[in-house]
Amino acid sequence: MIKIIEASFVTSAPSIELAPPSDTMEVVFLGRSNVGKSSLINALTNRKNLAKKSSTPGKTRLINFFNILFTKDKERFNARFVDLPGFGYAKVSKQELAKWQKSLNEFIEKREAIRLFVLLVDSRHPDLEIDVGVFEHVNSIKRADQEIIQVFTKIDKLKQSELALIKKMDGIPVSVLKQKGIEKLTKEIFKTLYGEIND
Ligand SMILES: Nc1nc2c(ncn2[C@@H]2O[C@H](COP(=O)(O)OP(=O)(O)OP(=O)(O)O)[C@@H](O)[C@H]2O)c(=O)[nH]1
Ligand SMILES: [Mg+2]
């Protein structure tokens, strides 16, 4: 059984230059503002308030780093989770927004330690142009040692018929509220970082 047994905040940084040393395999969580990135990190790590969540979009303005400890059987495995500011948040000046997007792009493209991009998409709006665009962008810059996992968030808000459609799509449906898909995602993350698992 794969578990995350420890999680701790490392630091926040506005840009790749000020990020901590790129010495631990990183899992980057990205998606539109309010899609549920911080809530998902809290659910995966079983912590209420590790990553700050809020009902105000754009709460996460810095790149936040968390050290993670997985266990499998009795072995321990290190990783780092990275909570990125949500894109598409408009309540800042155009100039600030542009600066922000530039540093996000730089981080995504140049950060050595990234092994996995977890792309969050609101399950109620699975085909938004902005999400498709981000998927294609990440896919186009992705190195040979990097993977993408798509996650459909907030599935507790779906009708049965909508859920059936989401389940046919390429991604992991999750609900933090109903604790759905969290274990599966934990396993998938572990598998991309550390290879096949038999449990
Ligand atoms: N119903 C439901 N609400 C959720 C779920 N996950 C997150 N939320 C809510 O969605 C809102 C936004 O969640 P956050 O985790 O702060 O979203 P974020 O993507 O980190 O947002 P930014 O930091 O602004 O980019 C909060 O009110 C959460 O409680 C879920 O699985 N189900
Ligand atoms: Mg957040």
Q: List strand residue ranges (DSSP E) for the chain, in order.
A: 2-13, 26-31, 63-72, 75-83, 114-122, 147-153, 172-173
Using the structure block, give the residue that is written with the tokens 């503002």.
33
Mean pLDDT of 38-60: 80
Q: For residue 103, what pLDDT is reported?
A: 85
Using the structure block, give the residue that is written with the tokens 């049965």.
160
| Residue 152 burial (C-beta neighbours within 10 Å; 0-12, 13-18, 19+) | buried
Percent of the chain with pLDDT over 70: 91
The torsion angles phi and psi of 65, rounded to 5 degrees, stand at -110, 135
pTM above 0.85, yes or no: yes
Q: For residue 86, what pLDDT is reported?
A: 82
Mutate to test the pocket of ligand 1, among 12, 29, 39 (most ligand atoms within 8 A of CB): 39
Using the structure block, give the residue that is written with the tokens 């990234």.
114
Lowest-pLDDT choice from 4-8, 47-51, 144-148? 47-51
Q: Quick check: CB of 55 below 6 Å from ligand 1? A: yes
Q: Is the pLDDT of residue 172 over 60?
A: yes
CA 71 vs CA 43, 82, 194: distances in Å: 17, 19, 11
Q: Quick check: CB of 86 below 6 Å from ligand 1? A: yes
Q: Quick check: CB of 58 below 6 Å from ligand 1? A: yes
Task: In whole angstroms, give the CA distance from residue 110 to residue 101.
Answer: 14
pLDDT grade for 54, boundaries at 50, 70 and 90: low
Tokens representing 173? 């449906």
Atom of ligand 1 nearest to the CA of 60: 23
Q: Is the pLDDT of residue 167 over 60?
A: yes
pLDDT grade for 60, boundaries at 50, 70 and 90: low
Q: Are 66 and 13 in contact (CB under 8 A)?
A: no
Task: In whole angstroms, give the CA distance from residue 80 to residue 11.
Answer: 11
- 41-56 b/e (C-beta count within 10 Å ≥ 16 → b): bbbbbebeebbebeee
Mean of the per-residue pLDDT values of the chain: 91
Q: Which domains does the chain have, with CATH numbers?
A: 2-193 (3.40.50.300)
